[in-house]
Amino acid sequence: MSNDQDPFYVAQQCLDMLAEHGALTLPVDVAKVAELCGIKFIVDSVLCDGKYGMSFVLDDVRYAAISPIINTPLQLPLLRWCAAHEIGHHLLGHVSSPWSDELEKQADMFAAALLIPQCLIDNIAFSCTDIFRIARLFCVPLPAAHDWMCEFSEWNSEDYIVCS
């Protein structure tokens, strides 16, 4: 896999870009990432067709459509996750590819690496001991925090959480 197809590498490039613009904050500003990458967000239930989101290009403009079902304050973690996932599809070159489980997993890995970045975790002066703290701190859905701890983090040990 080349670097431009590696979800962790591409997410780190986005984080570096945020840092260069003095915008690397917690939680990560997904809208700023989209802006810096030239991706426009729209909220549209017809385009999403029952899904939480989708990515497409129209007249050379990159779009990430988000379902209005999740565009509420109570759903902010899910909205952020879906937005990062759709940005991932664009930046990983998936938009012109047919749907596949592998591409969805790559977009999820990108979202995890972008929204729960190791570079910010390294600067936090405490240990995240459960998925609830990670979900609150990084403003991500609980399942995303759980998956991150179980699959992507260096904290995947019996000292923290049992992953099944």
Domain of residue 46, CATH code: 1.10.10
Domain membership of residue 137 (yes or no) is no
Could you tell me if 144 and 135 are in contact, meaning their C-beta atoms sit under 8 angstroms apart?
A: yes
pLDDT beyond 90 at 126: no
Domain membership of residue 164 (yes or no) is no
Domain membership of residue 151 (yes or no) is no
Give the pairing of strands 61-66 and 53-58: antiparallel
pLDDT beyond 90 at 159: no
Structural domain range at position 38? 3-125
Question: Could you give the dihedral angle defined by the CA atoms of residues 27, 31, 37 and 42, in that order, rounded to the nearest 10 degrees?
Answer: 150
The pTM of the full predicted model, rounded to 2 decimals, is 0.84
Domain membership of residue 81 (yes or no) is yes
Q: What is the mean pLDDT of the segment spanning 49-61?
A: 88
